[in-house]
Structure 1
Amino acid sequence: MNASFHFFPHSATTASGRYDALFIAQLIVLAAVALAVALLIVIFSIRYRAGSTADRSHAPTSARAVEIAWTVTPLVLFIGTFAWAAYDFTQLYRVPPDAMPVFVVAKQWMWKLEHANGKREIDELHVPVNRPVRIVMTSQDVIHSFYVPDFRIKQDVVPGRYTTIWFTATETGEFHLHCAEYCGTDHAAMGGRIVVMQPGDFAAWLASGNHQPGMAARGFELYRRYGCSGCHEAQSSVHAPDLHGLLGREVHLADGRSLIADEVYIRDSMLLPRKDVVAGYEPIMPSFAGQISEDDILAIIEYIRSTGGDHARASQ
């Protein structure tokens, strides 16, 4: 990045160009309407000022065509930009099935990131160019916000829930990562960088120095350590739902509702087991609130993902 002034930050993802175009279109529409109103105010203020020689003898009592044009034209323009923005917004939640998952836990005042193979980073994220990346985030303490100006992405990271965002970087390089939500004393220092690499270089980086088990393998160990396997496996004596292939599967609940199992549902099932009880099962599962960390929950979720599923995301 050079130090020269740019109206927009550098554009480095597939979506950033669309967002910039939308912003420019909205700016043009709003500026045109504001300029037209201001210009008419000035013209009428001068022409019909007190003491002017303007002819006021045949002032019109109605101007239906002007009224309709003034109402309909801005309405069409504003609805058009709204539809455009709504379409781009929906694309934020249409994650490509082949997106690479990255798991983020924010805390005062750092970003803890982990790849599916177990490699961890702090305040840095390495990703390959031209490949979709899906980021699953939660906070360990207060609200943070994952903001990368050059990617045009910003997503709040909230304690007690998971939020996601995805992007596809279009060029290699280093890009600034910020926390865009005031989160305490050292908020201004909570930053980092996104390093976009060629696919071959990224594969070599991902494989280097990784001496710990992948997230799914670690999740399986935690799945057994916390006793999940004692109830949720087919051979267990306890009548509990089967978790294999759960992510993306429709779940019917005891209160008549249905939902698609996602990361939030699995997390809530561990910490708030009576919130969404599966139909046909008794609410006997204990809560693990205060006993299990966010990192361990994410690892267990990744193990469950490895057993199959994610049907909903793949069909989008």
Structure 2
Amino acid sequence: MHGFPWWPATASAYAGTIDFLFGSLLVVAALTSGLVFFLLLFFANKYRHGSNADRSGAIRKTWRFEVAWTAATLLVFVGMAVWGSTIYLRLYNPPADALQIFIVGKQWMWKAQHPGGQREINELHVPVGQDVRLVMASQDVIHSFFVPALRIKQDVVPGRYETMWFRADKVGRYHLFCAEYCGTDHAHMGGWLTVMNPRDFANWLEDQGGQTTLAAQGEELFRRYGCSGCHESGGTVRAPHLEGVFGSPVPLSDGSVVIADERYVRDSILNPKGQVAAGYAPVMPTFAGQVSEDDLAKLVAYIESIGPERSGS
């Protein structure tokens, strides 16, 4: 399939696997629909008005034939579903040591924030051969982050974090798009993914100038918004300490337990009464409308930096 001029370029190790699955689905669908249409036309022609076909008496049915072709078709499609689900689960469970980059979608641009504090608009630079995990949010409406060469696409929904990961295995420059209609300038919401050699990527990071890391910027915001007054030792209000909480199980007041990942931290900032930690009163005010998506990413990066090593999600 890669020989066709209209077929997208491939820049990831699993792009071929996804193409093969896609091609297999097309073949199975074509064979199934082709058989149905062939039988439809065959019998419509055979028993057309005026034909000499024998219409005397009903043909005795054989349930063995009915059960056999139904079971065979079912097994084929169930097998395709299991195959696709296996690929999906593998692609949406990132390795623990993946490079994490925050992405914010906004009418009509993509904004990226690297751990070192480097920022990009409608551009994303990554090293070749390294696992990259994207933590994505929308500032306004539904967007969809799509890089055809990597065969990855993820809807970005307002009010929550979405994650995906990839590993580009070919140096180059590849289109990225918004694949969900998001307004009048949707067609212009795109950019470029630049895959670089590790040394070139390190030089690119350095060329962006002296940057304060994302976690350090988050720590500044943590104190500016007054979070340290409650969540650090000596606080005036009894609140959970956040050291080591990221990536750990958190018992809630309703008896359930959640893992403190990016989604949990974000929701705790914007809707603190939604999931209250066990043993604590729901007194934290909401910061919805006060903290932008860019600043939320910094706060999450800071809280992650004072927690244990991320184990993936």
Specify the alignment match of 1:282 in structure 2: 281
Specify the alignment match of 2:192 in structure 1: 193
Residue 310 of structure 1 and its aligned partner are, at CA, apart by 5.2
Residue 5 of structure 1 and its aligned partner are, at CA, apart by 2.6
Distance between the aligned counterparts of 2:18 and 2:304, measured in 1? 32
Specify the alignment match of 2:44 in structure 1: 45
Structure 2: state its 5+ residue gaps.
none
- Residues 232 and 241 in structure 1, CA contact (< 8 A), matched pair in contact too: yes
Residue 137 of structure 1 and its aligned partner are, at CA, apart by 0.9
Distance between the aligned counterparts of 1:209 and 1:150, measured in 2? 26
Specify the alignment match of 1:126 in structure 2: 125
- Residues 215 and 299 in structure 1, CA contact (< 8 A), matched pair in contact too: yes
Matched, 1:150 2:149: yes
Specify the alignment match of 2:27 in structure 1: 28
Matched, 1:5 2:5: yes
Q: Secondary structure at the match of 2:163?
A: strand
Distance between the aligned counterparts of 1:105 and 1:16, measured in 2? 25
* 1:46-195 equivalences in 2 (<5 Å): 46-57=45-56, 59-195=58-194
Q: Secondary structure at the match of 1:285?
A: coil
Distance between the aligned counterparts of 1:20 and 1:110, measured in 2? 28
Specify the alignment match of 2:231 in structure 1: 232
Residue 74 of structure 1 and its aligned partner are, at CA, apart by 0.9
Distance between the aligned counterparts of 1:203 and 1:63, measured in 2? 70
Q: When the two structures are superposed, what TM-score results if normalisation uses the length of structure 2?
A: 0.94
Distance between the aligned counterparts of 2:284 and 2:209, measured in 1? 35
Distance between the aligned counterparts of 1:57 and 1:143, measured in 2? 61
Residue 203 of structure 1 and its aligned partner are, at CA, apart by 1.0
- Residues 147 and 154 in structure 1, CA contact (< 8 A), matched pair in contact too: yes
Residue 13 of structure 1 and its aligned partner are, at CA, apart by 1.1
Residue 126 of structure 1 and its aligned partner are, at CA, apart by 0.3
Distance between the aligned counterparts of 1:14 and 1:252, measured in 2? 39
Describe the superposition over 1:249-295 as per-residue Cα deviations: whole angstroms up to 9, x where unpaired: 11111011111111111111111111110000011111112221111
Q: Secondary structure at the match of 1:177?
A: strand
Q: When the two structures are superposed, what TM-score results if normalisation uses the length of structure 1?
A: 0.93
Residue 59 of structure 1 and its aligned partner are, at CA, apart by 4.2
Describe the superposition over 1:21-42 as per-residue Cα deviations: whole angstroms up to 9, x where unpaired: 1111111111111111111222
Q: Secondary structure at the match of 1:105?
A: strand
Structure 1: state its 5+ residue gaps.
none
Name the CA shift for 1:115/1:200 in 2 (closer, same or farther; >3 Å).
same
Task: Could you list the structure 1 runs, at least 4 aligned residues long, displaced by more than 6 angstroms after superposition.
Answer: none
Residue 58 of structure 1 and its aligned partner are, at CA, apart by 6.0
Distance between the aligned counterparts of 2:48 and 2:285, measured in 1? 78
Describe the superposition over 1:61-88 as per-residue Cα deviations: whole angstroms up to 9, x where unpaired: 2122220122111101110001011111
Residue 245 of structure 1 and its aligned partner are, at CA, apart by 2.2
- Residues 118 and 210 in structure 1, CA contact (< 8 A), matched pair in contact too: no
Distance between the aligned counterparts of 1:70 and 1:246, measured in 2? 55
Distance between the aligned counterparts of 1:60 and 1:310, measured in 2? 70
Specify the alignment match of 1:251 in structure 2: 250
Specify the alignment match of 1:294 in structure 2: 293
- Residues 124 and 194 in structure 2, CA contact (< 8 A), matched pair in contact too: yes
- Structure 1 counterpart of 2:91, one-letter code: L
- Residues 96 and 310 in structure 2, CA contact (< 8 A), matched pair in contact too: no
- Residues 249 and 312 in structure 1, CA contact (< 8 A), matched pair in contact too: no
- Structure 1 counterpart of 2:5, one-letter code: F
Describe the superposition over 1:175-205 as per-residue Cα deviations: whole angstroms up to 9, x where unpaired: 0011111111211111100000011111111
Distance between the aligned counterparts of 2:91 and 2:226, measured in 1? 36
